[in-house]
Structure 1
Amino acid sequence: MTSIVERATELRRLHTDPELLQVVNVWDVVSARAVADLPGTKALATASHSIAATFGYEDGEQIPVDLMLDMVGRIARAVDVPVSADLEAGYGDAGETIRRAIGEGIVGANLEDQLKPLDEAVAAVRASVAAADAEGVPFALNARTDAFLRGRDRSLEVNVADAIERGRAFLDAGATSVFVPGIFGEDVVRQLVAGIGELKVTLIGLPGVPAPERLQELGVARVSYGPTTQRVALGALQDLATDLYLGGVLPDGIRPLN
């Protein structure tokens, strides 16, 4: 396995490469290894929602930070590709949480603003960047704005403007990229890229969002998939169990991935 600085440097490079970085979200060691073994995997991202659900917690920083950091560390140590962790809003101390995540082998992170006042959100980004700098790691901070997720009662124009303002401020504070989750089409993607910067915007791939090939053409840096990957896996498990209860048998060709 390469050093943490080498993995961090590679993750930063992948965010600036003209080729769209696709990160499939994982939630434990076995899911991480299954995805990491694929030829197309260049990096991994954890999903906080999925990890919380694994341990029986609701999303939204309900899981103890020690438990979250233990799991993301196990994932980072189990694979040879860079791992970015979803660390929600930093669990009350963004800088300290980033410092501890680096100690677990994590080389990038999502940090959400929860639509807090801009000065508070920027301060959390600055604290995170400072913590990584103090550790000597070129950390890939993917600063997330919830302008769309928490701004459902606002107009589209207001959400776009807010996301751009926040994104620019996060970049000025040292973030590598700006994560703008939401379901919107090409016109909004164009506005976000124009306002925040080419190869600076990262999105979540949900139904209704342009396909990866088009996102690359539009200048998006990265796309991830959040808790949907775990939901697909759980759906497949439910479908199999239902079929077995109805008299079915295990299908041929099961891959021994664990």
Structure 2
Amino acid sequence: MRTQAERARLFRALHERPGIFIMPNPWDAGTAKLFASLGFEALATTSLGLANSLGRVDGTLAIRREELIANCRDIASATELPVNADLENGYADDPGAAAAIIRLAADAGVVGGSMEDASGNPARPIYDFNLAVERVAAAAEVARALPFPFTLTARAENYLHGRRDLDDTIRRLQAFAAADADVLFAPGLRDLETIRQIVAAVPKPLNVVMSAADPDITARELADAGVKRISVGGALSRLAFAAVRDAAVAMRDAGSFQWVRDTVPTKDLKAIFQR
């Protein structure tokens, strides 16, 4: 089994080598093992996927901090792959208090994580610029004090909260990079041209989440645009719910069980889970 330091170095190397890589987003140990069995090189947690599994409406602080950390531990211990964690906004406004979640996540076994600039306050959903930068700097300070190279991702959440302001988003990402974030992330981007503009404007690797982007965009096109890392957020969780819903409706309305033909055989699941 790889040590945490080995996973951390492997994760950092994925960002430093040429080309792009894809991180699927498991929401529990079972899906983590499934994605690992398919040859992916890294995993990322998903707050939406976890909220779905708990039957809650996703949103800032829909999941308690201890639940999020427990989910990180479950996923990180399920495979040998490096895991990047969705750490919400750190569960605090104060930079130092928010940054404490970096050490908690590291103690749970993950080797990377994100800090977002969404406040959870509907009246002012995005932190003011200076506070947002201070929060990233505080998270970076905690990350650098760890005994392995923790990869810190800084998220500019404008596009998820109705603020389609490209200039402000770029300004924030540039400041986050200067505050020592390793990876930059602006969830909610949809079109390739906007993605290209951000890549050209920022000095650190960019993560793009395909749960909100135009699904016709391919990984090759993102690579050609200069994107380093792709994730899918809670999209695979929503896909799983769609498949289960459709099977349940077929049972209810037509008494049909043809969907059983599309299930993963038990022997295949046993082989995945025994690894």
Normalising by the residue count of structure 2, what TM-score does the alignment of the two structures yield? 0.86
Aligned to 1:147: 158
Aligned to 1:168: 174
Q: Contact 1:149 / 1:182 at 8 angstroms: preserved in 2?
A: yes
Give the Cα separation in 2 of the matches to 1:191 and 1:74: 37
Residue 112 (structure 2) aligns with: 108
Q: Does the 8 Å contact 1:15/1:221 carry over to 2?
A: yes
Q: Deviations over 1:21-44 (max 9, x none)?
A: 2111111111111111112x0000
Matched position secondary structure for 1:2 = coil
Distance 1:105 1:254 in 2: 29
Would you say the 8 A contact 1:129–1:139 is kept in 2? no
C-alpha offsets along residues 98-119 of structure 1, whole Å, 9 cap, x if unaligned? Answer: 1011001011112111121122
Match of 1:200 among 187, 199, 205: 205
2:42 matched to which residue of 1? 43
Deviation at 1:252? 6.0
| Aligned residue number for residue 233 of structure 1 | 240
Alignment of 1:1-258 (within 5 A): 1-39=1-39, 41-59=40-58, 60-92=60-92, 93-114=97-118, 115-152=126-163, 154=164, 159-197=165-203, 200-205=205-210, 206-208=212-214, 210-245=217-252, 246-249=254-257, 250-251=260-261, 254-256=264-266, 257=269
Question: Equivalents in 2 of 1:162, 1:191: separation in Å?
Answer: 13
Cα separation, partners in 2 of 1:164 and 1:127, compared to 1, 3 Å: same
**Unaligned runs of at least 5 residues, structure 1:** none
State the SS of the aligned residue for 2:261.
coil
Q: Is the 8 A contact 1:12 1:176 kept in 2?
A: no
Q: Is the 8 A contact 1:52 1:68 kept in 2?
A: no
SS at match of 1:148: helix
Note closer, same or farther for the CA distance 1:56–1:252 as it changes in structure 2 (3 Å cut).
Answer: closer
Residues 189 and 195, structure 2, Cα contact 8 Å, conserved in 1: no
- Count residues in correspondence: 251
Give the whole-Å Cα distance in 2 for the aligned partners of 1:208 and 1:5: 36
Percent identity reads 34
Deviations 1:175-219 (A, max 9, x none): 11111112432221111011113x611111135162211000110
C-alpha contact 2:36 2:81 (8 A) present in aligned 1: yes
TM-score, with structure 1 as normaliser: 0.91
| CA RMSD, Structure 1 to Structure 2 (Å) | 1.7
Runs of 4 or more consecutive aligned structure 1 residues displaced over 6 Å after TM superposition: none
